[in-house]
């Protein structure tokens, strides 16, 4: 797990660590810094029992605001974290995967919805490009690259957004089941998703 350490994440980390048979390590990393990200990946993988076989990249930021007066520096930060952060992490991971010549699976997090949407649209296109480049390369083991667009999920990151006026009601009304979701599961990075490549899964049902 690579993230900025926050109180809620620390609690989640400790809870998972307490489960029987669970091995979880936490690494603090700014995904906008390429060299730091590469070093973090190398250190993390060096302490694993098995080679790196998968990447689930969901680092992302975003703020509520109108495009007409949205701060340029904040828009750049969103694109830097959401889009370039995805690219940097994918590069760091594939360099390690190539060393062991084993197939792998990447899952990126996009969005079904101004600056935030632009950054996540870039993630979708990056998914397509990497799926094409790494799905059948003679120099790199097969890597499946897909993305998930979950919409608004109840997480600590979205708590402030949902608390802003009537936004929760608006988001809820836009789901098919009229309720917000809690995302669970990860079949795209597991064996039962081994035939899935270059696929964006749109999740707006309120699971």
Query: What residues are annotated to the active site?
Result: 116, 120
Q: State both tokens at 172.
A: 């809820």
Widest CA span in the chain: 53
> DSSP class of residue 190?
S
| Cα angle for residues 151, 186, 100 (degrees, 5° grid) | 125
User: Is residue 159 classed as helix, strand or coil in its secondary structure?
Assistant: helix
Place of tokens 């997090």: 109
- CB neighbours of residue 46 within 10 Å: 8
Cα distance between residue 45 and residue 90, in whole Å: 14
- Of 56, 65, 93, 61, nearest to 79 by C-alpha is 61
């Amino acid at each position: 797990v690579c993230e900025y350490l926050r109180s809620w994440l620390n609690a989640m980390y400790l809870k998972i660590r307490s489960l029987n048979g669970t091995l979880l390590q936490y690494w603090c990393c700014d995904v906008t810094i390429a060299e730091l990200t590469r070093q973090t990946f190398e250190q993390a993988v060096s302490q694993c029992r098995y080679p790196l076989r998968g990447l689930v990249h969901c680092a992302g930021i975003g703020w509520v605001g109108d495009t007409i007066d949205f701060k340029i520096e904040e828009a750049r930060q969103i694109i830097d974290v959401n889009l370039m952060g995805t690219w940097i992490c994918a590069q760091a991971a594939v360099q390690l995967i190539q060393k062991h010549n084993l197939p792998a699976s990447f899952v990126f997090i996009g969005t079904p919805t101004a600056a935030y949407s632009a950054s996540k649209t870039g993630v979708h296109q990056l998914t397509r490009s990497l799926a094409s480049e790494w799905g059948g390369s003679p120099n790199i083991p097969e890597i499946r690259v897909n993305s998930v667009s979950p919409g608004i999920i109840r997480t600590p990151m979205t708590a402030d957004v949902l608390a802003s006026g009537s936004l929760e009601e608006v988001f809820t009304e836009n789901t098919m089941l009229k309720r917000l979701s809690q995302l669970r599961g990860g079949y795209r990075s597991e064996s039962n998703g081994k035939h899935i490549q270059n696929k964006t899964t749109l999740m707006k049902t309120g699971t």
